[in-house]
Amino acid sequence: MKSAILTPVKEPAETIRIIYERRAVRKYKNKPVERDLIQEVIDAGRMAPSAINKQPWKFYVLTEKEMIRSFSKEIAAVAIKEFSRSGIRNIVKTASHLLHFSHGFDFRAMEDPVFHGAPVVIFITAPRDNEWAPLDIGMCAQNMMLAAKAVGLDSCPVGFAKFVGNTKLYPRLTVPDSEEVFLSVILGYGDEHPEIHDRRKNNVIFIHESSGY
Ligand SMILES: Cc1cc2nc3c(=O)[nH]c(=O)nc-3n(C[C@H](O)[C@H](O)[C@H](O)COP(=O)(O)O)c2cc1C
């Protein structure tokens, strides 16, 4: 059964309103993002909590359209190869799902199959030897996306970015071997208003003393 769409409490505080309004946006206006806004979003990421306060993140920022497109196409090609190697049977269908296309496509013909035409791509890395890095990076990215919404930008986390390490273009990012790309966050002025997805609601369990041990 489909759950009801969550709604905030009446007159939510500003932060809660922004949490509810953030969406994964996959269509962007052809409009550059001001450098100070990019910086503000990254600064908010830096304010995220991190295990043992290691602040393991580093940010590699692309703002040049042609470069973003080139990375996008290479990442898509590598991802498809990885899927076929890992034996996933219906590769195109899987890729289509993961790349968030709802109908048949030839991703090689697409301008920007991974970064959805966003004018800013931020790759977030952390040292390879940090077992908490995926959690830290997740918190950092969420801070960034909420800050983006607060300053009038839209965003989307792009997990596909992790394939960038196997692209020929990767050296252009200048990421040292000691670091790994965990995620990217794309930013821009959105050109769509996606529907809010229903949120599952049957996943909270209050444990009572009376339940026994
Ligand atoms: C770790 C992670 C990786 C994701 N990777 C991608 C991606 O590669 N491409 C994409 O279009 N969306 C990606 N998304 C966005 C999710 O599809 C999206 O957050 C989800 O459908 C819920 O929609 P909402 O963010 O609008 O609530 C990713 C989200 C997360 C948390």
pLDDT for the residue numbered 1 = 43
Q: Give distance in angstroms: CA of 208 to centre of ligand 1.
A: 34
pLDDT tens, position by position, 39-67: 999 999 999 999 999 999 999 999 999 99
pLDDT tens, position by position, 83-128: 877 766 555 556 665 656 544 456 666 889 999 999 999 999 999 9
Q: Give distance in angstroms: CA of 98 to centre of ligand 1.
A: 9
Q: Which domains are seen in the chain, by residue range?
A: 22-65+117-192 (3.40.109.10)
pLDDT for the residue numbered 102 = 45
Alpha-carbon gap, residue 40 to 175, rounded angstroms: 22
Q: Give distance in angstroms: CA of 139 to centre of ligand 1.
A: 14
What's the chain's average pLDDT? 89
Is-above-0.75 flag for pTM?
yes
Strands 179-188 and 154-158: antiparallel
The conformation of residue 5, written as its DSSP 8-state character, comes to P
Left, alpha or beta for 11 (phi > 0: left; psi -120 to 50: alpha)? left
Going by alpha carbons, the residue nearest to atom 9 of ligand 1 is 158
Q: Give distance in angstroms: CA of 14 to centre of ligand 1.
A: 23
Burial class of 160 by CB neighbour count within 10 A (0 to 12, 13 to 18, 19+): buried
Could you tell me if the CB of 26 is within 6 A of ligand 1?
yes
